[in-house]
Amino acid sequence: MRAVVQRVAEASVRVDGREVARIGRGFLVLAGFSRADTPATIAWTARKVASLRVFEDQSGRMALSLEAVDGHVLIVSQFTLYGDVGKGARPSFDDSAPPDAARALYDDFVAALRAALPERVHTGEFQAAMQVSLVNDGPVTILVEKEAP
């Protein structure tokens, strides 16, 4: 699993012209799933995202967690995170989980984050064409990746 975690001042998702989710301070998480992902890789990634300490404390040091700053998470599924451009200019998505498997992994990831961060997790719409808006804070972008065994 790959999760691109962006620290944001705000973020939102629109589908077909309607806003489906909006957060203030927190994380926008672009989540991609591979064919090899297991429940263990999903659980590990969710724990890692929930516990990241990338918000600045009073001394300007990245030391505070999402919970410490009363932040929220907006999760957006992004199968293109497994796009491979090693050969040619058109990406291959052979390593991306197929839609049905990806949906189950996505649901597990959302559930794990909701268990760790009750009332703080919001989502886009799986497999929808989404317009994502964000205001990066920093910017701070962290790649959280766990290779499946």
In the residue annotation, 58 being an active-site residue is answered as no
Spatial distance between the Cα atoms of 106 and 52, rounded to a whole number of angstroms: 20
In the residue annotation, 79 being an active-site residue is answered as yes
Spatial distance between the Cα atoms of 81 and 95, rounded to a whole number of angstroms: 10
In the residue annotation, 80 being an active-site residue is answered as yes
CA 142: distance to chain centroid? 10
Spatial distance between the Cα atoms of 127 and 103, rounded to a whole number of angstroms: 8
- What burial class does residue 42 get, using C-beta atoms within 10 Å of its C-beta: 0-12 exposed, 13-18 middle, 19+ buried? buried
Place of tokens 């984050």: 113
Considering 27, 33, 55, 79, which one is annotated as catalytic?
A: 79
104 vs 64, 98, 110, 115, 126, CA distance in Å? 31, 10, 10, 16, 10
Considering 80, 127, 131, 141, which one is annotated as catalytic?
A: 80
Considering 6, 41, 45, 78, which one is annotated as catalytic?
A: 78
Question: Annotated active-site positions, please?
Answer: 78-80
